[in-house]
Amino acid sequence: MSTLYNALWKKSKVLVRLSLAFETGLPKPSGPVAVLHPEVGFDIAGLTEALIVQPFFPSNRTWGNQGFACDVSLPTRRFSLAIVCCTRSKQQTADLIAQAAAQADIVVVDGQKTDGIDSHYRSLRKLTTVHGTITKAHGRLFWFAGMNLATLRAADQNFDGFVTKPGVFSAGAVDSASALLAGALPEHLSGDIADFGAGWGYLSSCIMSREAVTKLDLVEADFVSLDCAKKNVSDPRAAFFWADATAWNGSYDAIVMNPPFHTSRKGDPELGRAFIAGAKRCLKTKGSLYLVANRHLPYETALEQCFAKVLELPGNGRFKLFHASRPKRK
């Protein structure tokens, strides 16, 4: 996990609802345990043998470095206990609950109010008996017996020939910022290219229309998004890497990016700045960076510190576009 992500995740509050649940009635597991999509710092309540299911690369690596077995999806086997941590996507969380309920004797669901935990609680109470609940620190934890909840499984959100899944950025539609950047990319784009934070592959699919591109590396931290990208970009020049773009190493003629600026609900421009620094490190001497950003994000200083030439391209009221070239080596 990069130093940047470590610093950002340290800001997250360690919650203790799971420990309290074990103290107040949640049965201790007698067999395998899976924890689905926990953020770094989640209260694991002494379950040191738990399998961590985390598709976000920096978090997956951090849990692994702490000694936990990790995977990107729930393997097909039985569990004594499965703990589902709410994500920002209601559909994705419901799908995770359904997966866990099909494979575990007891299912725990934990989340903050801002992540919709109370909505999931109300929904599950209509479908089954909830055996206990804990409310603390602006969130809720509840548990119920495993069962068939196939009606909660989420379908892919496909459109215009693209495959997306609930929980990925801009599921079911092209985000406006990426569309703006795609329209600004030069037709003469050529050589070895990288798409940092490639998501489900929209920008990469546009880049592949340039015949002079010799290779395209899609670097994406979310495994689910990258899996979609593999379906959306079938050109043999493309290669796919589940990795942290802020720590990536490569050598490219051009890099395109619509960098994320959230590690949680709170925005943090440091993440975008780290993407810019990563581009500087990975570009060839005469290489170019093409970047789109929300207009309020202060990336100009970072660009000027990293590149000898920075040009702002025509954007719109919501987004700004930059072409930065000649990365500084000192």
In the prediction, which pLDDT does 261 show?
Answer: 80
Q: In this structure, is the dihedral angle defined by the CA atoms of residues 302, 306, 311 and 315, taken in order, positive or negative?
A: negative
- Residue 250, SS3 per DSSP: coil
In the prediction, which pLDDT does 143 show?
Answer: 98
What's the one-letter identity of residue 140?
Answer: R
Share of the chain above pLDDT 70, in %: 94
In the prediction, which pLDDT does 276 show?
Answer: 98
Going by C-alpha positions, the residue among 140, 152, 36, 142 that lies closest to residue 91 is 152
Share of the chain above pLDDT 90, in %: 91
pLDDT tens digits, 198-251: 999 999 999 999 999 999 999 999 999 999 999 999 999 999 999 999 999 999
- Residue 76, SS3 per DSSP: coil
Confidence class for position 268, pLDDT limits 50, 70, 90: confident
CA angle 95, 50, 89 (to 5 degrees): 25
Q: Same domain for 209 and 133?
A: no
Q: Same domain for 145 and 196?
A: no
Task: Report helix, strand and coil shares of the chain as percent, to nearest 5.
Answer: 30, 30, 40
Confidence class for position 265, pLDDT limits 50, 70, 90: low
Q: Same domain for 15 and 79?
A: yes
pTM reported for the whole predicted model: 0.93
Q: C-alpha distances in angstroms, 13 versus 116, 134, 227, 261?
A: 18, 17, 30, 19
Number of domains in the chain: 2
**In sequence order, what are the beta bridge partners of 48?**
none
In the prediction, which pLDDT does 1 show?
Answer: 44
In the prediction, which pLDDT does 330 show?
Answer: 72
In the prediction, which pLDDT does 247 show?
Answer: 97
Q: Same domain for 143 and 190?
A: no
Domain region containing 231: 176-327
- DSSP annotation of 212 reads T
Average pLDDT of every residue of the chain: 93
In the prediction, which pLDDT does 3 show?
Answer: 47
Q: Same domain for 117 and 245?
A: no
Other beta carbons less than 10 A from residue 70's beta carbon: 18
Q: Is residue 168 part of a domain?
A: no
Q: Give residues with Cβ within 8 angstroms of 106, minimum separation 6.
A: 26, 27, 29, 80, 81, 82, 143, 144, 145, 146
